Amino acid sequence: MFINCLNNIIRHSSYQFSSQYLLNKSKQKLILPFYHTVSNNELIHIKHLYRVKNTKEFIKDLDFLLSLFEPINIDTLYDISNGRYTIKKPVFLLSFDDGLKEVYENIAPILLSKGIPAAFFINSDFIDNKNLFFRYKASLIINEITNSSKKKSLASEEYSKHLSPINPSNLSAEILKIKYNNQYILDKIADSISLSFHEYLQTEQPYLNSNQINELLLKGFDIGAHSKDHPEYQYINLLDQIEQTKSSVAFLKDNFKIKKKLFSFPFTDHNVSKTFFEMIKNDIDLSFGCAGQKLDCIINHYQRIPFEQLDRSAKQIFNDEILRFMIKGLIGKQRILRS
């Protein structure tokens, strides 16, 4: 209740200030906005998960960022983290998760036209459309059953075999709750309604292929790992966390000759321990979470700001994050501590 009240106060109050004023008062000289994709078309695998910004909205976001910050690349951030570069003017590093094809088709051309570097984080198991993120499977299933009472009934029956019996009217919400560790249920439900994820991968090809990744690297963009197949780290054990991380980074290094070993956490880095970071420190140059504008107790680990938030503009998101950062500073909650 308190957090919800605080968020409402922040959202209301942030409109009262200019972004430049908040930036000056907060003394923040580095922000890391991130997205997943940008498209003018409906993406069925994402449709029931979150709203995708179109190119016009994305360009408006970029113009806002450029009005306050200078863009930097991964090399500069690496120098900042190691004390070899002092930030004089406010800067931002842009990144994108999940390795979706719109990165190549829509996003990179816009960034190149504006001279903005970026890092693209990719799940090694999904490259070349070899497999599909379990949350995208959920979105495809929901889309398939939305206008078909027969398919909804079949899906509900299959769901009930593996989890608790369910009212079909609640089915979509419950499908979205299925986690990484029981994602096999999504495959069973898809089979029951004759939905082929393999066919979707082949016809829609939602992910980047190897040739596109190589082209992005040639154009000066950075490529980093986003785990093998996108688990939420707080729900898998330490050994699996390490395996997911090291294997995905090693795959990119072996197959694409990446310069820097980069890693962004899928979902969140919430509850990831100091022990994890200690055990992967020789395998990672920089890593990234998505907890908003916060500091972190781990050296070379940076928190990013999600810029896909319903119908909210970059200015609204930025103002909220900076004001929240300043308020948390008053109660000593700006920094993420880990056990």
Beta strands in 105-220 (DSSP E): 118-122
* Domain shared by 188 and 253, yes or no: no
Dump pLDDT digits (tens) for 219-247.
999 999 999 999 999 999 999 999 999 99
Calculate the alpha carbon distances from 109 to 36, 85, 136 in Å.
Answer: 16, 28, 25
Q: What distance lies between CA 165 and its chain's CA centroid?
A: 33
DSSP string across 241-285: HHHHHHHHHHHHHHHH--SS-EEE-SS--TT--HHHHHHHTTT-S
* Domain shared by 101 and 214, yes or no: yes
* Domain shared by 138 and 120, yes or no: no
The answer to whether residues 158 and 188 touch, using CB atoms and an 8 Å cutoff, is yes
* Domain shared by 16 and 106, yes or no: yes
* Domain shared by 121 and 249, yes or no: yes
Q: What percent of the chain has pLDDT over 90?
A: 91
* Domain shared by 26 and 143, yes or no: no
Give CA angle at 260 (220, 231), nearest 5°. Answer: 105
* Domain shared by 236 and 323, yes or no: yes
* Domain shared by 104 and 217, yes or no: yes
Q: Which of 201, 227, 252 is the last residue of a domain?
A: 201
Our separate counts of H helices and E strands in the chain read 16, 13
More confident residue, 165 or 186: 186
**pLDDT score of 189 more than 70:** yes
* Domain shared by 67 and 138, yes or no: no
Dump pLDDT digits (tens) for 113-141.
999 999 999 999 999 999 999 999 999 99
Task: Provide the pairing of β-strand 91-92 with 30-31.
Answer: parallel
* Domain shared by 107 and 179, yes or no: no
Q: Which of 201, 229, 251 is the last residue of a domain?
A: 201
Which residue segment(s) compose the domain that 169 sits in?
134-201
Task: Please list, in sequence order, all residues whose beta carbon lies within 8 angstroms of the beta carbon of residue 323, skipping any fewer than 6 positions away.
Answer: 10, 13, 14, 17, 22
Dump pLDDT digits (tens) for 273-285.
999 999 999 999 9
Least confident span in 12-16, 32-36, 266-270: 12-16
Q: What is the pLDDT of residue 2?
A: 45
Q: Which of 201, 220, 253 is the last residue of a domain?
A: 201
* Domain shared by 328 and 271, yes or no: yes
> What is the band of 169 on the pLDDT scale with cuts at 50, 70, 90?
confident
**The total number of structural domains that make up the chain:** 2
The answer to whether residues 327 and 6 touch, using CB atoms and an 8 Å cutoff, is yes
CATH code at 79?
3.20.20.370
* Domain shared by 105 and 90, yes or no: yes
Dump pLDDT digits (tens) for 316-336.
999 999 999 999 999 889 999
d(CA 286, CA 77): 9
